[in-house]
Amino acid sequence: MLTFVGLGLYDLGDISVKGLDYVRNADAVYLEAYTSRLMGADVSEMEAFFGKEIRVLAREDVEQDPHEIIERAASGQVAFLTGGDPMISTTHADLRIRAAAAGVATSIIHASSISSAVSGLSGLQNYRFGKSCSVPFPARGWFPTTPIETIAKNLELSLHTLVYLDIQKDRYMRIPEAITILEEMAEKCGIEPPTLYVGIARAGSENPVVRAGTGAKLKETDFGPPLHVLVVPADLHPMEREYLEVFADL
């Protein structure tokens, strides 16, 4: 059995009781740490908490060569851990399909996700979000503008945009850098940059920071350590505005 287990948003207290029980009884435990990270616990703390050795997976281990995971799941109980909910904004649908094709049973143990936490922290209504996008760290000769195009299309439809920020081996994109990149993308595409953002840091922790305002204001705001995420809101419903005034310093 291959079970996708969500770790939730921030630390070891965020896994469900069902998830914890499964991991503690698993024959093998893998951790996918490239689409999201549990910033409030490192791998050795997780190993001590679960009482299991954990193998940390690189993107290639999952997307190109998942045979080991599937083989072990064919003969035992395998836990595949992911930050947040395991099936939100990740590529794990492919792994589940491959396991099913190999005749291996699969299941999902869900957990809290950044995609729902943003609504609670910002007051922006869940049903008003359009397509989400991700801002990658620019690389030499590579500067895609799809994120700002997605935001522009959502704004035309009066929909909010959830903007995920890039995670690389040892670096995490932060809100001020993401806003600067979005502004450069807007200039490159000849469109107006967004006039309002909501920045959220460390959702799920005891001290998440949530601030709403212009790009200039948020670039000057100290959001503290990662993970960070952004929302570009469309026109605000009066209740959404009031919530941002009360809880996000709008």
Ligand X SMILES: C[S@@+](CC[C@H](N)C(=O)[O-])C[C@H]1O[C@@H](n2cnc3c(N)ncnc32)[C@H](O)[C@@H]1O
Which residue ranges make up the annotated binding site for S-adenosyl-L-methionine?
A: 9, 85, 88, 113-114, 165, 203, 228
Structure token pair of residue 122: 């910002």
3/82 with CB nearer ligand X: 82
Q: How far is the CB of 75 from ligand X (least distance, A)?
A: 28
Q: Are 25 and 33 in contact (CB under 8 A)?
A: no
Whole-angstrom distance, CA of residue 160 vs CA of residue 217: 19
Nearest to 164 by CA among 217, 76, 89: 89
CB of 95 to ligand X, least distance (A): 14
> Do 124 and 29 form a contact (C-beta atoms < 8 A)?
no
Q: Crossing angle, helix 43-50 and helix 17-24, to 10 degrees?
A: 80
Cβ proximity to ligand X, 99 vs 121, nearer residue? 121
What is the smallest separation between the CB atom of 69 and ligand X, expressed in angstroms?
18
Q: Torsion-angle region of residue 95: left (phi > 0), alpha (psi -120 to 50) or beta?
A: alpha
Closest contact distance (angstroms) between CB of 171 and ligand X is 11
Residue 114 CB, shortest distance to ligand X, in Å, is 4
User: For the CA atoms of the chain, what is the radius of gyration?
Assistant: 19
The answer for residues whose C-beta is within 8 angstroms of residue 240's C-beta and 6 or more apart is: 123, 124, 125, 233
Chain residues in the site for ligand X (CB under 6 A): 9-10, 35-36, 82-85, 88-90, 113-115, 164-165, 167, 200-204, 227-229
**Using CB atoms, what's the residue nearest to ligand X?**
84
Structure tokens at 144: 């895609």
137 vs 237 by CB, closer to ligand X: 137
Annotated binding site: 9, 85, 88, 113-114, 165, 203, 228
Shortest distance, position 229 Cβ to ligand X, whole Å: 4
For ligand X, which is the closer residue by CB, 70 or 229? 229
Give whichever of 35 and 154 is closer to ligand X, judged by the CB atom: 35
Is the Cβ of residue 82 or residue 161 nearer to ligand X in the bound state?
A: 82
Burial of 85 (0-12, 13-18, 19+ CB in 10 A): buried
